[in-house]
Amino acid sequence: MPDMSDVTPADLPHEDWGVFGRPLFLDEEARALSRVGVVDVGSNSVRLVIFDGAARSPAYFYNEKIMCGLGAGLRETGRLNPEGKIRAMSAIKRFQKLANGMGIPPLTAVATAAMREAEDGPEFREEIERETGLNLWVIDGEEEARLSAQGVLLGWPEADGLVCDIGGSSMELAVVSNGQVGKRITSPLGPLKLQGIKGGRKGLKEHIAPIMEELVQTMGRTHKRIYLVGGSWRAIARIDMERRNYPLHVLHEYRMSSRAVTDTIKFIRKSDMTELRAKTGTSSARMSLVPIASEVLRQLVRNFHPKEICVSSYGIREGMLYEQMPDSIRQRDPLIEACRFSERKDARMPGFGRNLHDFIAPIFRARHYEKMRLIRAACLLHDVTWRAHPDYRAEVCFDNATRANLGGLTHNERIFLGVALLHRYKNSRENTPFSDLIAMLSDKEVLEAEVLGKAMRFGAMFTVARPQDVAKLDYFPKKKLLRLMLEPDAEDLFGEVTEARFNSLAASLGAETEVKLRRKRS
């Protein structure tokens, strides 16, 4: 993304609204994408997702998954699991009824490894179309890899590395860089397909090794980051959180080192799987595949040597949505778009967030782009939880920021946003239940978030169309001076509570205060 830290809205030409400009969902192209239904018929599960809201950062209007196990036994029989077919058909019929009832346009349906490899796959596809009217798009492995990689790009526009999508019957790899999907490949390393391998752990290890070496020869070892897509990877990541006692249970953008993955795989081997399933909230069907998937992951990490392993909750379904987006939408910031949509839907004064940002911006000069986008996001979200009870509004704000479905945010950035929004409604962090999460930030980051929150708390006292029309905020860091210049007709707005919030903001900055009243022009 471009560095726009020094760009103000006034600097942007009329036709270029920038990352903090005209909300994307007001564009006709985006509105056409505002509600999209996708059915994903996988080897292990069948899922319906209906995306709604800001097209660049989709909200999940509806999300339902049925563990059907279509690919169970495929390696031995060459055919789809008979019970899985019954369950899959039942699920698809239900999904069609739901979509019709919600007034969703025709569903987009995709099927992956089990349907493309099974000898009775074409027959079952015809049966589905005959009984439900759903036209199932059976894709090959490289296309599956491409769509999964596009899903990663939807949430991670700057993604650079190797996307690894594990399904029930296959595992796909794709290179992503500069917003593009490059080389891609498929492999038979899905845990359902590997269930029939004989020889226990040793036999499984020996079976996977040569396949993994072929993948390395094709894709190369130069990828610093691996992006993990798929339910089995997410289950392992959730176990890693349990092992580390990690406090933020948000899987999207969760990060692990190679050493952490190795330690977690050892932890899985030693653990009681029933007990582990209960602690992590993992389904029994998914947990039964974890030991096999963990051996695949062990060899993946060992062979590709990534410096970082990242978990993506976005995959093939999000990739299908990304597929329908024109470049003008793809280039937008998913975080800012989601926050704009949230403000429009839930804030008392939609549009005030940008004015609030412009009012407090002088405090945050010389910040780099990544920090400025967080400041902008916070301003957009500053009022979206106003309906919560006043006694709990600060906590609801924090929870909303740290656990909401927002793309383009690291875990630390989520917590930074949470602390800022907490201070939007509360002067102190004492006696809040988030100390373990806040401890993930450095002292400097906590202070920056506190200053941002208190700046928004003060700026909200000038809730008029444009606060900057009645008051001007200036901060002089070298002088340690926070100055407020009031217009002649705005003196009454600087009341007792406003002054207290101004002083609290100055205290967090370690600055003296100065309040001036502009003289009326004669």
Residue 19 lies in a domain: no
- Examine the domain organization and report whether 461 and 361 are in the same domain: yes
Pairing of strands 481-486, 512-517: parallel
Query: What is the rounded distance in angstroms from the CA atom of residue 441 to the CA atom of residue 253?
Result: 16
User: Other C-beta atoms within 10 Å of 509: how many?
Assistant: 20
Residue 1 lies in a domain: no
Pairing of strands 59-67, 108-111: unpaired
Q: Where are the alpha helices (DSSP H) in 305-392?
A: 316-323, 327-330, 334-346, 352-360, 369-381
What DSSP letter does each residue of 251-290 carry, written as one string? Answer: -TT-EE-HHHHHHHHHHHHHS-HHHHHHHHT--HHHHTTH
Residue 472 lies in a domain: yes
- Examine the domain organization and report whether 274 and 416 are in the same domain: no
CATH number at residue 258: 3.30.420.150
Residue 219 lies in a domain: yes
Residue 28 lies in a domain: no
Compute CA 71 distance to the chain's CA centroid, rounded to the nearest angstrom.
Answer: 29
Per residue in 316-371, pLDDT (tens digit) is: 999 988 887 878 778 888 899 889 888 988 999 999 999 999 999 999 986 788 89
- Examine the domain organization and report whether 157 and 291 are in the same domain: yes
Reading the block at residue 197, the tokens are 């391998």
Per residue in 478-495, pLDDT (tens digit) is: 999 999 999 988 888 899
Give, as one character, the DSSP assignment of residue 105. Answer: P
- Examine the domain organization and report whether 395 and 310 are in the same domain: no
Of 2-16, 234-248, 487-501, the least confident: 2-16
Among the listed residues 268, 264, 265, 285, the one whose alpha carbon sits nearest the alpha carbon of residue 276: 268
Given 289, 318, 347, which residue is the final one in a domain? 318
pLDDT for res 329 = 79
Could you give the angle at the alpha carbon of 118 between the alpha carbons of 112 and 119, nearest 5°?
140
Given 103, 138, 173, which residue is the final one in a domain? 138
Half-sphere exposure of 287 (CA within 13 A, CB side): 18
Per residue in 122-154, pLDDT (tens digit) is: 999 999 999 999 999 999 999 999 999 999 999
pLDDT for res 509 = 97
pTM over 0.85: yes
Among the listed residues 476, 481, 459, 446, the one whose alpha carbon sits nearest the alpha carbon of residue 366: 476
- Examine the domain organization and report whether 297 and 352 are in the same domain: no
- Examine the domain organization and report whether 502 and 464 are in the same domain: yes
What domain count does the chain have? 3
- Examine the domain organization and report whether 201 and 339 are in the same domain: no
Per residue in 380-433, pLDDT (tens digit) is: 999 999 999 988 899 999 998 998 888 889 999 999 999 999 999 999 898 888
Residue 459 lies in a domain: yes
CA distances from 326 to 33, 107, 108, 274, 512 (A): 10, 20, 18, 46, 50
pLDDT-based confidence at residue 9 (cuts at 50, 70, 90): very low
Given 88, 123, 138, which residue is the final one in a domain? 138
Reading the block at residue 99, the tokens are 């979509």
Per residue in 432-452, pLDDT (tens digit) is: 889 999 999 999 999 999 999
CATH number at residue 57: 3.30.420.40
Residue 20 clears pLDDT 70, i.e. is over it? no
- Examine the domain organization and report whether 131 and 273 are in the same domain: no
The domain in which residue 81 lies consists of 34-138
